[in-house]
A and B are shown apart, each in its own frame.
Chain A
Amino acid sequence: MTEFSTWDILCNLLLATRWTILLSLATFLFGGIVGLILLFMRTGKRRALRRFAWDYVELFQGTPLLMQLFIVFFGLSLVGLNVPPWLAAGLALTLWTSAFLSEIWRGCVEAIAKGQWEASSSLGMGYFQQMRWVVLPQAFKIAIPPTVGFSVQIVKGTAVTSIIGFVELSKAGTIVTNATFQPFVVYGFVALIYFALCFPLSMSSQFLERKLNVAHRNH
């Protein structure tokens, strides 16, 4: 029987970590874009669009991520579309992320005082101009802590995609365990790597908050 050194284990896990990082980044990017579109629908004036965004958010917040993943992966293959695991993973995570981010951001937009909307209205600005120049710049600052907080959830959420066979960090952990029969060591490393990804994210939130506050006061 082959012996595996600690280095072998770590090496394999770190290689798979690349996919965790890539999936997280892609999810955050695309989820953010869709989330922004949903935010505009939700806070805008068209009733049908507001309703659609509301339903969308309720649907994806009200069902487990795992179910969404299964439905995308198996559901699409049921209708004849053969979706590779990476695509199903990315798609499901994007849908899930966009719902949560749009809801987080909606809270931030609604935290902006009504007077800001009224003043900008009275100056003749339309909805998009108000959002772009008055509301979002102010909402951005209060959105940073919850948004970064949620990005940590995304990194950890990618672990779920191991179940449909996407080889990211967690799946690699399972594979390596099956070969080495050292679950404690392997999953210990897996946990440490997740922590190493998430901890700097949390720290960056504090840093950004402080930096933005300082920038606002000193200019």
Chain B
Amino acid sequence: MSLIEITEVKKRFGDNEVLKGINIDVAAAEVIAFIGKSGSGKSTLLRCINGLETIDEGSITVAGAQLLPDEIHLKALRLKVGMIFQQFNLFPHLTAGRNVMLSQMVVKKVTEKDAEAMARNMLDRVGLGHKFDAYQEELSGGQQQRVAIARALAMQPMALLCDEITSALDPELVNEVLAVVKELAKEGMTLLMVTHEMRFAREVCSRVVFMHQGRVHEIGPPEEVFANPKTPELNQFLGVTEH
């Protein structure tokens, strides 16, 4: 059975239909890259899976939790999928450690002691155990993003959604974040990522989804999609992004 089932999902912003019937099933431990031009709907789709956007038609289910617009269903869904954002979105009034502890204590009612142990563990996992007491302004962009990953992991999600998580980083900081993601993939975490890092997509992903004008235009294993694009749109897109 698939972990994530996306069925006939349609989404409109006013008159503009940004998702025109998306169907994707994701198995556990799959790593999927969404590629495509800006405006193709890939970020919107990811945000729908976490309930940050509502959908107009179709359904999204993650391990039995369905996307419905009320708070109880949303919470159940969000406990199963974590999300990492382009702009990190750390809580600036809290230390790195407290960032990772907060939602465990508030949402899962974990005791402070257990939350701290988990936070130290997760920060270690992203290589930032020594930054437990650092505020965001004392961290580089790459470190902030790694704290954001630790924060999402501490909720023990079944899947992680990564929305262009390296796009706001200086080039020399991209690799430290991708290394963490690669490690997660190796450990069997289910990952859905919108990315412009084609080399990374090729190396790490099990499937690549090329989105074009609100539709899944091509989908397949990376070696196939990258080496042998079937549509002129993908051909053109790859021609533009790769040098």
**B93-A137 in contact (CB<8A):** yes
B51 contacts across to A, CB distance below 8 A:
121
B155 contacts across to A, CB distance below 8 A:
123-124
**B89-A123 in contact (CB<8A):** no
Interface size on B, residues (CB 8 A): 28
Complex CA distance for A116 and B107, rounded to whole angstroms: 16
Which one of A115, A122, A134, A137 lies within 8 Å of B82 (CB-CB)? Answer: A122
- A49 vs chain B, min Cβ distance (A): 15
Complex CA distance for A122 and B149, rounded to whole angstroms: 12
* B166 on the A face (CB < 8 A): no
Q: Give the most central of B71, B83, B90, B103: most A CB within 10 Å.
A: B103
* B106 on the A face (CB < 8 A): yes
* B54 on the A face (CB < 8 A): no
Complex CA distance for A219 and B136, rounded to whole angstroms: 12
Complex CA distance for A1 and B133, rounded to whole angstroms: 74
- A36 vs chain B, min Cβ distance (A): 19
CB neighbors of A among B125-173 (8 A): 135, 148, 151-152, 155
A134-B91, A138-B93, A216-B93 known; A124 and B107 CB under 8 Å?
yes
* B40 on the A face (CB < 8 A): no
**B89-A124 in contact (CB<8A):** no
Number of A-B contacts (CB under 8 A): 64
Which one of A121, A122, A125, A219 lies within 8 Å of B135 (CB-CB)? Answer: A219
CB neighbors of B among A60-118 (8 A): 113, 115-116, 118
Complex CA distance for A126 and B50, rounded to whole angstroms: 14
A115-B85, A119-B85 known; A124 and B91 CB under 8 Å?
no
**A124-B79 in contact (CB<8A):** yes
A115-B85, A133-B106, A219-B135 known; A122 and B52 CB under 8 Å?
yes
Interface size on A, residues (CB 8 A): 20
**B89-A116 in contact (CB<8A):** yes
Contact flags (1/0) for A138-172 with B, using CB distance below 8 Å? Answer: 10000000000000000000000000000000000
Complex CA distance for A216 and B102, rounded to whole angstroms: 18
A115 contacts across to B, CB distance below 8 A:
85, 87, 89
* B78 on the A face (CB < 8 A): yes
- A140 vs chain B, min Cβ distance (A): 9
Which one of B52, B78, B85, B95 lies within 8 Å of A124 (CB-CB)? Answer: B78
A137-B93, A216-B93, A219-B135 known; A124 and B103 CB under 8 Å?
yes
- A117 vs chain B, min Cβ distance (A): 9
Complex CA distance for A138 and B91, rounded to whole angstroms: 9
Contact flags (1/0) for B85-116 with A, using CB distance below 8 Å? Answer: 10101111101000000110011100000000
Contact flags (1/0) for B46-88 with A, using CB distance below 8 Å? Answer: 0000111000000000000000000100110011001101010
Beyond the given pairs A122-B83, A125-B103, 6 more chain A to chain B contacts, judged by CB atoms under 8 angstroms and listed by A's residue number, are A118-B85, A119-B148, A121-B50, A123-B107, A138-B91, A216-B135
What would 28 A/B residue contacts be, using CB atoms closer than 8 Å?
A113-B89, A115-B89, A118-B52, A118-B83, A118-B85, A118-B89, A119-B83, A119-B85, A119-B89, A119-B90, A120-B103, A121-B51, A122-B50, A122-B52, A122-B78, A122-B152, A123-B103, A123-B107, A124-B103, A126-B71, A126-B75, A127-B71, A129-B106, A134-B91, A134-B102, A216-B93, A216-B135, A219-B135
